[in-house]
Chain A
Amino acid sequence: MALRHSLLISLLAWLAVVFPSFSQAQSPSAPPLVFLAKHERWQALLHWNQGSTLRNRNKSYVADDDFFLSPHGKTNALKELEATVAALEPAESPMRCRFPARYRFLAEQLGWPMAEAFDHCEEYRAWREQVPDNQAVLVFPAAYLNSPSSMFGHTLLRLDAADVEQQGSWLSWAVNFGAVVDDEASMLYIYRGLAGSYPGYFSTVPYHTKIQEYAHLENRDMWEYPLNLDHEEMQWLIDHLWELQDIRFDYYFLDENCSFRLLELMEVARPNSGLLTQFRFTEIPVDTVRTLIEADFVTTEHYRPSKAVELKTLSDSLTVEQRRLAKRLAKTPKYEGEDFTQLTPSEQRRTLKAAYELLRYSQRKKERDAEAARKSIQLLRRLSAYEKEVNIKPWRPEPPESGHGTKMFAVSGGAHEGRGYGQLEYRWTYHDWFDPPRGFLQGAQIEAFRTKLRYNRENQLKLEELGIVDIRSLATRDAFLKPISWYVRGGLERTAVEGDYATATYLEAGPGLSWEWRGLRPYTFATARVEHHSRHQQFIEPGAGVTLGALWYAPKDWVLGASVESLYFARESLRHQAAFTLNVPIATQQALRFEAKHQTWRKGHGDTEVGMSWRYYFH
């Protein structure tokens, strides 16, 4: 330590001659600004891209002139440092109030005074006084997969006051990085989200608004991970947050997103954490959780079930008869039939609560309905007549970070009509129906860029499949909830086109129904498909059909699936397929998959394929 220090000083003496910025060194032992400009904290404070993502290499990510004190600040960290030193040094400098974390950094490095440094900053001090600063919590609203836009989840930060255990987190602050969108109805919405043309800002709102948004309205489970930032690190985080007020970034859905910005905040609080050293094409929220766990930021985790899960738990605790009663009460809140009055008070209360929750569940996303409001308050009035009771806690699922990695590579071998083949497969992201379900939502699948290259006995290497997107959502129906399942997939695949194998471009989608009984999920889909291949007479060949199938989520994370599918095209040709899949996990990140399928087209023409693959998951 002492050796490094003295080396620094001698370097300083030498460099002072070479670089003019050295003349600004504040005290004899202060490190020179050229060194400070490369300091991890300074780079973190400027949101410098040191090679973490594609765009803005060796520049600041910030897309806002107000953030920089030097006209060259976005591209030159040293110039920005010099300008900051000049602007923040005067005791009454208004810029100190704008950049308290930068001041803190300079005070620490150059020996500037901290006492009374912000006495003239009334606005900042009033805000700072209000910010809860005892603990930061990483919050992950998991995906609700019947809702495609939530698909990868989200991350935000929560700031808690000291007595959060007793007072609850409703009044904590949520710190959110998100796009500010002005054209929601526009068809360009998704494109603009991907292409970064929406501005991204940090905002703070009461945490209960986020609970309502995710857990109540969107029915997404929320996972909360308290972080072990100490008092000092919290100061850095909060002071820097102030510097980001009304500061514009560009929002990119894939990489420069909510999760990436949170990692940057963590680097400000705790530099050298190595959170941003690796290059990434995407920052997927669940991987952000993993990254912070692996870097020892996370102490524990807390599960906050969604309203849908709470309702399911309540419903599961009722008998079939009580469920029927609850539905009746939701329609006729004053119902006093003997089948209700004969229940124990505790059963009556639970049935009334289910009726209320069911009614609100159906109303929550609608405009206010006077009739439903009247029924709601009648149910609450009846409910309030009963003694308080301990609620049944929903079963806590495995946390999302315990799941398999979201990228996948597979090697397989098999036989097509008795002729052997070998195959390589790569999936960019995320999870399919049969992959080990731990940490994922059962019956939900999202895959993007699934690529299969097959090598056959004729020594030909062929693109078997390029699945650009493949989303399937089995939303199961029960006594209370009647959601519609759906799927959509599109890309290139080798299939029997007009009776011969060829690579066709396709897009396929349809609505469906599904149910659940002890891990078994039967389902059915209606299918609409458009296909393009030069062999078709029309440029686009439309088809329609139906699929029947079932999934079984067996013990030990084994998943079995069977399905039959029929597809009829506009001009006479047809396709039938029967498929069977078994997936067996052999380690956290490995699984074996067995597949068999039989296809027919025209009358009496068909073939059979069996295969086995070794799947390796990573992130």
Chain B
Amino acid sequence: MKKILLAGALLGASMSVSAAAPGGPGCGWGNMLFEGKSGLPSHLLATLVNGTSGNATFGMTSGTNGCDTSGTLTYNGSSLLSMNGVLEEVAHDVAVGEGEALTALSVSLGVEAEDRAHFNSVLHQNFEAIFTSEEITAQEVQQNINAVLSQDDVLAKYSA
């Protein structure tokens, strides 16, 4: 039950591709691949007093750019892919065929444990179809992953 909820919330799985980005405009979905420093927390802040700037968050919405974080108790329609720095890690893991980011992505999509190795290998083989350009955004990556999954007999059930 919990897993299904998570899956839906994390990847906006049932969202139709033309729908407006959830969480408001500019809510991380526009994050480009290799976002760099702008997408990551400030260095000095993070160290001496282990601080955060702005408000401390108490839900799980933090880490996205410009998201509406009212109702901080859920992922608030924001996607794992749209969280800071995640897109780059997923791209790396897809290119090498495994990794923690890829595992987290499969979990958030609700991919069952027995399908995960297959999921990893299908994404690995389709790297070029998913990461079509260095200018690609989180939202486009999600669409491409859905397209790849929908063409696989085993994984089609996990696509939107």
Contacts and interface: CB of A to CB of B under 8 A. Distances in A.
Interface of A: 123, 126-127, 129-130, 147, 149-150, 154, 156, 163, 166-171, 173, 176-182, 184, 189-190, 193, 198, 200-206, 208-209, 211-214, 216-218, 245-246, 251, 253, 257-258, 353, 356, 360, 363-370, 372-374, 376-377, 380-381, 383-384, 387-388, 391
Nearest to A183: B53
Contact of A203 (B57, B100, B124): B57
B60 A204 contact: yes
A258 B34 CA distance: 31
B104 A368 contact: no
Interface string B14-43: 000000000000000000111111101111
A383 B92 CA distance: 9
A204 B62 CA distance: 8
Contact of A205 (B37, B47, B63, B120): B63
A205 B38 contact: no
Contact of A209 (B36, B50, B59, B63): B63
B64 to A, nearest CB: 10
B50 A154 contact: yes
Given A181-B52, A367-B38, A380-B95, A218 B100 contact: no
27 contacts: A127-B59, A130-B73, A149-B47, A166-B113, A168-B100, A177-B50, A178-B56, A181-B45, A181-B53, A184-B45, A203-B56, A203-B62, A205-B60, A208-B83, A213-B46, A218-B47, A363-B36, A365-B37, A367-B38, A368-B37, A373-B32, A376-B33, A377-B131, A380-B92, A384-B127, A388-B96, A388-B120
A206 B105 CA distance: 13
Nearest to A374: B134
Interface of B: 2, 6, 32-38, 40-60, 62-63, 73-74, 80, 83-86, 88-89, 91-92, 94-98, 100-101, 103-104, 107-108, 113, 120-121, 124, 127-128, 131, 133-135
A276 to B, nearest CB: 20
Contacts of B120: 388
Q: Indicate the member of B50, B55, B56, B96 with the most A CB atoms within 10 Å.
A: B50
A176 B46 CA distance: 11
A367 B57 CA distance: 25
A203 B86 CA distance: 20
B56 to A, nearest CB: 4
B52 A178 contact: yes
- Return the 5 tightest CB-CB contacts between A and B, nearest first: A388-B97, A170-B104, A384-B127, A201-B56, A179-B49
B131 A380 contact: yes
B34 A363 contact: yes
Given A204-B57, A368-B32, A384-B95, A190 B63 contact: no
A206 to B, nearest CB: 6
Given A123-B73, A149-B44, A201-B56, 7 more contacts: A149-B43, A202-B58, A217-B43, A253-B49, A372-B34, A380-B131, A388-B97
B38 A384 contact: no
Contacts of B127: 380-381, 384
Given A204-B57, A205-B62, A178 B36 contact: no
A369 B92 contact: no
B66 to A, nearest CB: 16
A178 B47 contact: no
Contacts of A205: 57, 60, 62-63
Contacts of B43: 147, 149, 217-218, 365
A258 B38 contact: no
B103 A181 contact: no
Contact of A173 (B34, B60, B85): B60
Contacts of B57: 203-205
A147 B104 contact: no
Given A205-B57, A217-B43, A356 B33 contact: no
Contact of B103 (A167, A198, A363, A388): A167
Contacts of B91: 377, 380
Contact of A245 (B33, B35, B51, B58): B58
Nearest to B60: A206
Given A209-B83, A212-B85, A376 B34 contact: yes
A70 to B, nearest CB: 24
DSSP majority for the A interface?
mixed
Given A246-B58, A377-B33, A377-B134, A203 B52 contact: yes
Contacts of B131: 377, 380-381
A213 B88 contact: no
Contact of A167 (B38, B40, B107): B107
A383 B98 CA distance: 13
Contacts of A184: 42, 44-45, 53
B51 A217 contact: no
B58 A204 contact: yes
Contacts of A206: 60, 62-63, 83
B96 A353 contact: yes
Contacts of A368: 32, 34-38
B69 to A, nearest CB: 12
Contacts of B107: 167-168, 170-171
A127 B58 CA distance: 10
A373 B134 contact: yes
A288 to B, nearest CB: 13
A193 B49 contact: yes
Nearest to A377: B134
B48 A149 contact: yes
A212 B50 contact: no
A80 B59 CA distance: 28
Contacts of A190: 48
Nearest to A253: B49
Nearest to B58: A245
Contacts of A363: 34, 36
A376 B134 contact: yes
A284 to B, nearest CB: 14
Given A170-B101, A184-B45, A216 B85 contact: yes
B50 A179 contact: yes
Given A208-B86, A209-B62, A189 B44 contact: yes
A365 B35 CA distance: 10
A201 B58 CA distance: 9
